[in-house]
A and B are shown apart, each in its own frame.
Chain A
């Protein structure tokens, strides 16, 4: 995969493409004296130009998306399959169809403008609407005039190829998020504000009865306003409290619900009986703050979705070959024994045997090993491999669900999410808390009963329940961890939820994956070249390489850097996944894999795999390889980490890099190579068995299993928003060197939580001291409640802010 998308050297003298802004090849395609890097870009420009949509280029510079990676039209053939289409379409009547696509390429104002002006480009499109944050487009079109496939094609032609995956079928319904929470928050906020307002005279000691019976009037209004809060907004807590009780568990919502009930009951009673103004303000405040706290906690990163599995990457359909007829069918309906065709860049959906065609399978999806592996008819192909080169045919030996990769995904680690049983910190506390409060309420109540005052007894015990209502307690965790979450997000470490922070704070062992995690393909520099080709060799080599559009050939061409007149190329032949050969100025010349080019290994270079060879007249002139480089700041990071954690390294790759790695890691670091995904799983499990709390740092896909198995799985990713594997956290690759700081922040977060808990408890004690003596007045409650919440709030926010401050000044490594 990497091979394919290797960007061209930036220092190339070429102009930047008017459409996509990429730097062009040696000779840019010119149109209306505008340079274009490829035919695709040029075509799009032509289309837009013809339909005078060139505003596209005015709104932002080089808004276009390069079309080099564009699949060919047949890739969307499956959309003609009605049963597939039906599952994608969100609404359809006689004439109109509405469908929503995810367009990862959408990135700027120009995109919005063009996509919403599609109707100008195609008469069948009646409406197109973009949700920029979700990178989604919702299209309405007349299906008589334009097929779904045609529509997708149109988008793809413009460079906005929709991402359609297997999971889109299952998840079609589940996209809309439930907003009732926001309603609840809104109602609470509104009523809170107004109840405060109406209680104002009370705070200012408006003398009873005067001014034409305000108190009465305001009292009634307060009840009126409190009703929605009590019945609707607070239902959150009642529900969860109830489910807690049914599971024999006193979660934090139990005391809260208790408090709310008492608050409402007693206030209503007081107001109706005219004995007092009630605590409605406290009630509303309580509910509002709590909901606000939850909102803070629930806040997640919309653009990232964490709950992906293989269906998020697998194709929706495959091309089935039946009696020499091609038709596309849903992969789910594939049977063992079916013959299917796999085209360039298509994923193998299920295990099978190669029938015909030159297979060069890129297994990076499974193993992380970048370089495609050549396969020959009769070889076994595993699901998850990606064909590069011409299309191949294969017979399936297993169904999709039975295949190696899917089996892996169906491994236990994915089945039961061990965090289910993990109870939130606050709930653990409230276990004891609730008991104590009930105790106090009961005792104090009894005490006053003994004193012979029933009303006072009721008054006191209710007061206890009111002031003890653990508002601050319930706030501290969501607020603190919530803002930690935000700070981490600020530094490009995106956590799945606040629970992960607590996990992260407790880890003891860190496991690193190599490929794509510690290393990356350095696009900033040219391919490595071994050997010193002569002037003449460079000319021939470059001339040959330019014949091929394969990225490696391109890279090699530019590496050889031959600007002069090209050689005459004859009998050009390209073998997918192998290389190219031809006659250049009458010399037999070939460029490709060792076996293909017939290269005799040169002594300068190390292990021979992954190299592309240039052979002229049977003589090996030069070898080329993509440089795999270690991320900057790695050494420093590992040095800092080893002081606090034990480390280990896993790699799906073979051990040719061991030496280099040992330089980075502390001496005794266990390093395991040639690790299959389930090996990694096993290793993590063994660590955990020995009592370690493991943090797995890997590059999402091929480490998916390990990531899920570990206490915390951090996926390192180059672009966090388009790609997010099954894991607890996603770390922007550029931030890897600060991993230790981020962990530390999580730990500090937990300390802040503990501090906040103390604060809130002390507030409760103060309140209780009033309550048990029957001295709790609405004003005190109305002051105490927000005050405690406010302190906790400030503590949480300010604390995390300070804790996160040092993160803001860049550490030397990460700026490297």
Chain B
């Protein structure tokens, strides 16, 4: 047999025609460090928040504005979602993408802009949120200047990613890349739509949507943020790092493709289920439910695909800490994605909504799915990038068990708490009246569970510290390799698809594809045209009050409302009385869509650590509020509510009033023309009146120009309009 090819190319005679390039590991390392560092911070804040709920009066935080629960809870969520998970995503994407497309990132500069930009955004969040600078839209609390920054950085990221993909040397886009792209596109859209707001100053803006609509947009965002920031990118990571770690191909690649497209086409519609029994139209709610339930299929498709990848390798799982983490993560994903649709079923939702159940649900996702997958990736990545072995597999296992126990100690008591809470809220006695008429009774019941939760959080956090130690030691043991040499043949320029036959066919395909493309581009154009036409009309139309008696807020109430949002009251108090006997009995008339038309933004909230406030107006005298704000425990000795002494000290800044009024007018709130200039007069009058009233009722040191006055004005206004005259 003849073997010319050998004589032709015995080693050393000729170099293969191949591109050589270097993967950028430095950027991956940076994101990894950022993810871990911010993760620690975020979880620490979370722990503090948890402790505040069981030791509200502890000197460490009680009465300190920037540590009060209402301000640090947004900090916790933002830090964990956008700092910990966000950087985790970028870490994974920057590592896997380069290798999947066999090309380095398109631009080192863009990579770095992305990295530092993102960290700056987080830093600004770290500063603004404790200062009470917030839009009060959950998971989108950051104010408009930061929102803009986010948009810019996100575009940079997208640019870098897309251009890298275009430079690829691998024709096929591995399924993970699809997940990344989907993430980028959708998050961009969500962020822009949900952040549509009119500024009323550098650090203040009002959502362009009001009340029900704002709620709808917010939860369309809220849901899809979970879907496309916490789920799809991590699924992408799962599809890359799990096979890598197990060194075996994914169970079914076909399934992964179906999984992706199904998920994409269903997820986007599932938003409304967050608003069941709210003032949202019935059909929209049911729609959300239907799609949410449909979601089980693709979600579990993904989970099974992940788990089955390890079939026949379970012995490996027992020994390999990386796989351990990943397995738990995927399992948690399965649980969360099963529970989600369940929660979206009306009857179940009726029970669990506003309770701690939700907290348990999201933390199974966050701690289990996102947390553990990130840890697994880190344990796999760090030794690789530092060219060494893990410092101590034993410690990694310690972390694993601490983390797992942490999740259990966190989730179980919270589920239990949620159930207890719901049961107590809805329990009627023979006399047909609520057994626990006093909301506080339903709270004090939960203290033990809150303690256990705090314990769980501590365990989990401890685990993370162990990991940090382990990884740092690993890094020191090894030598970091900022650039990794790689080679791959260049992708042929003219790329006739699969065994093509030269130009002839190429031409065929072009013809064949054209009508289709035209069809869809035209469709999209029409839709865009549609928006451009319709949106303005909607905006106007939407602000016509459906309930005549509902009036805009007075300047003082408006300022009070802004204090309400600033202090993050919505994190513990809802403003949405649902049409259940138990709730109407407890709070009063259920909430109507028409009542919220001037609420920019809406304050429905999503959790009732404290009672609902929508019908608070007129329930208690001003002096009650005054003292309650100063020190809740002076009235209810077991209250969990933080005290707000600074409201009594700080002067209300009324210089902002005109701008705020103008913005509201721009949003269609019917203040008379030129009212912005008169507003402060009315404001002061109303303030004086309230202050006077307070002094009469024994609050000697009540002063009109303090923030507390504005807040009381707002609280007393809440839900009162409708009482003025029966609804139409």
A-contact 0/1 string along B273-313, CB 8 Å cutoff: 00000000111001100100000000000000000000000
Expressed in whole angstroms, the minimum distance between the Cβ of B288 and any Cβ of chain A is: 10
Which of B15, B498, B512, B519 lies at the interface centre, i.e. has the most chain A CB atoms within 10 A of its CB? B498
Expressed in whole angstroms, the minimum distance between the Cβ of B496 and any Cβ of chain A is: 6
What is the CA–CA distance of A190 and B494 in the complex, to the nearest angstrom?
A: 31
A-contact 0/1 string along B1-45, CB 8 Å cutoff: 111111011110011111000000000000000000000000000
Whether B269 lies near A124 (C-beta < 8 A) is: no
Whether B287 lies near A127 (C-beta < 8 A) is: no
Task: Please indicate the chain B residues that have their CB under 8 angstroms from the CB of A367 in the complex.
Answer: none
Expressed in whole angstroms, the minimum distance between the Cβ of A257 and any Cβ of chain B is: 20
Expressed in whole angstroms, the minimum distance between the Cβ of B191 and any Cβ of chain A is: 23
Task: Please indicate the chain A residues that have their CB under 8 angstroms from the CB of B269 in the complex.
Answer: 197
B-contact 0/1 string along A120-143, CB 8 Å cutoff: 111111111101001010101010
Known contacts A126-B490, A131-B498, A224-B526; A119 and B17 CB within 8 A of each other = yes
Specify the chain B residue showing the minimal Cβ separation from A101: B499
Task: Please indicate the chain A residues that have their CB under 8 angstroms from the CB of B11 in the complex.
Answer: 50-51
Whether B17 lies near A126 (C-beta < 8 A) is: yes
Specify the chain A residue showing the minimal Cβ separation from B500: A90
Q: Does B689 contact A (CB under 8 A)?
A: no
Task: Please indicate the chain B residues that have their CB under 8 angstroms from the CB of A380 in the complex.
Answer: none
Whether A200 lies near B5 (C-beta < 8 A) is: no
Q: Does A173 contact B (CB under 8 A)?
A: yes
Q: Does B541 contact A (CB under 8 A)?
A: yes
Listed stretches B131-139, B155-163, B501-509; interface member: B501-509
Known contacts A123-B9, A183-B516, A204-B282; A150 and B4 CB within 8 A of each other = yes
Task: Please indicate the chain A residues that have their CB under 8 angstroms from the CB of B618 in the complex.
Answer: none
Chain B 209-249 interface residues, beta-carbon cutoff 8 Å to A: 249
Q: Does B433 contact A (CB under 8 A)?
A: no
Q: How many A-B residue pairs have CB under 8 A?
A: 131
Q: Does A47 contact B (CB under 8 A)?
A: yes
B interface residues, how many (CB within 8 angstroms): 49
Expressed in whole angstroms, the minimum distance between the Cβ of A105 and any Cβ of chain B is: 16
Whether B505 lies near A176 (C-beta < 8 A) is: yes
Q: Does A531 contact B (CB under 8 A)?
A: no
Whether A200 lies near B501 (C-beta < 8 A) is: no
Whether A150 lies near B5 (C-beta < 8 A) is: yes
Known contacts A150-B5, A228-B523, A232-B516; A119 and B16 CB within 8 A of each other = yes
A-contact 0/1 string along B513-542, CB 8 Å cutoff: 001100110010011000000000010010
What is the CA–CA distance of A92 and B526 in the complex, to the nearest angstrom?
A: 43
Task: Please indicate the chain A residues that have their CB under 8 angstroms from the CB of B265 in the complex.
Answer: 190, 193
Of A109, A121, A201, A232, which contacts B283 at CB under 8 A? A201
Listed stretches A3-11, A66-74, A424-432, A701-709; interface member: A66-74
Expressed in whole angstroms, the minimum distance between the Cβ of B621 and any Cβ of chain A is: 40
Whether B17 lies near A123 (C-beta < 8 A) is: yes
Task: Please indicate the chain A residues that have their CB under 8 angstroms from the CB of B723 in the complex.
Answer: none
Whether A232 lies near B519 (C-beta < 8 A) is: yes
Whether A204 lies near B286 (C-beta < 8 A) is: yes
A interface residues, how many (CB within 8 angstroms): 60
Known contacts A129-B171, A136-B499, A138-B498; A73 and B1 CB within 8 A of each other = yes
Task: Please indicate the chain A residues that have their CB under 8 angstroms from the CB of B504 in the complex.
Answer: 173
Whether B281 lies near A153 (C-beta < 8 A) is: no
Expressed in whole angstroms, the minimum distance between the Cβ of A200 and any Cβ of chain B is: 5
Which of A40, A100, A123, A228 lies at the interface centre, i.e. has the most chain B CB atoms within 10 A of its CB? A123
Q: Does B674 contact A (CB under 8 A)?
A: no
Task: Please indicate the chain B residues that have their CB under 8 angstroms from the CB of A455 in the complex.
Answer: none
Q: Does B492 contact A (CB under 8 A)?
A: yes
Q: Does A211 contact B (CB under 8 A)?
A: yes
Whether B498 lies near A127 (C-beta < 8 A) is: no
Task: Please indicate the chain A residues that have their CB under 8 angstroms from the CB of B287 in the complex.
Answer: 197, 200
What is the CA–CA distance of A138 and B172 in the complex, to the nearest angstrom?
A: 14
Whether B541 lies near A127 (C-beta < 8 A) is: no
Q: Does B489 contact A (CB under 8 A)?
A: yes
Task: Please indicate the chain B residues that have their CB under 8 angstroms from the CB of A136 in the complex.
Answer: 499
Q: Does B149 contact A (CB under 8 A)?
A: no
Whether B498 lies near A176 (C-beta < 8 A) is: yes
Expressed in whole angstroms, the minimum distance between the Cβ of B678 and any Cβ of chain A is: 33
Task: Please indicate the chain A residues that have their CB under 8 angstroms from the CB of B494 in the complex.
Answer: 91
Known contacts A50-B11, A123-B9, A123-B14; A175 and B499 CB within 8 A of each other = yes
Q: Does B491 contact A (CB under 8 A)?
A: yes
Task: Please indicate the chain A residues that have their CB under 8 angstroms from the CB of B2 in the complex.
Answer: 72-73, 153
Of B17, B171, B519, B541, which contacts A228 at CB under 8 A? B519
Q: Does A212 contact B (CB under 8 A)?
A: yes
Expressed in whole angstroms, the minimum distance between the Cβ of A277 and any Cβ of chain B is: 13
Chain A 272-298 interface residues, beta-carbon cutoff 8 Å to B: none
What is the CA–CA distance of A351 and B142 in the complex, to the nearest angstrom?
A: 86
Of A121, A134, A206, A228, which contacts B5 at CB under 8 A? A121
Whether B6 lies near A200 (C-beta < 8 A) is: no
Known contacts A201-B283, A224-B526; A126 and B489 CB within 8 A of each other = yes
Task: Please indicate the chain B residues that have their CB under 8 angstroms from the CB of A119 in the complex.
Answer: 16-18, 489
Whether A96 lies near B501 (C-beta < 8 A) is: no
Known contacts A127-B491, A183-B516, A211-B281; A122 and B8 CB within 8 A of each other = yes
7 A-B contacts (beta carbon < 8 Å): A98-B492, A123-B17, A127-B490, A173-B505, A187-B516, A190-B265, A206-B281
Give A residues with C-beta under 8 Å from B: 39-40, 43, 47, 50-51, 67, 70, 72-73, 90-92, 96, 98, 100, 109, 119-129, 131, 134, 136, 138, 140, 142, 146, 150, 153-154, 157, 172-173, 175-176, 178, 180, 183, 187, 190, 193, 197, 200-201, 204, 206, 211-212, 224, 228, 231-232
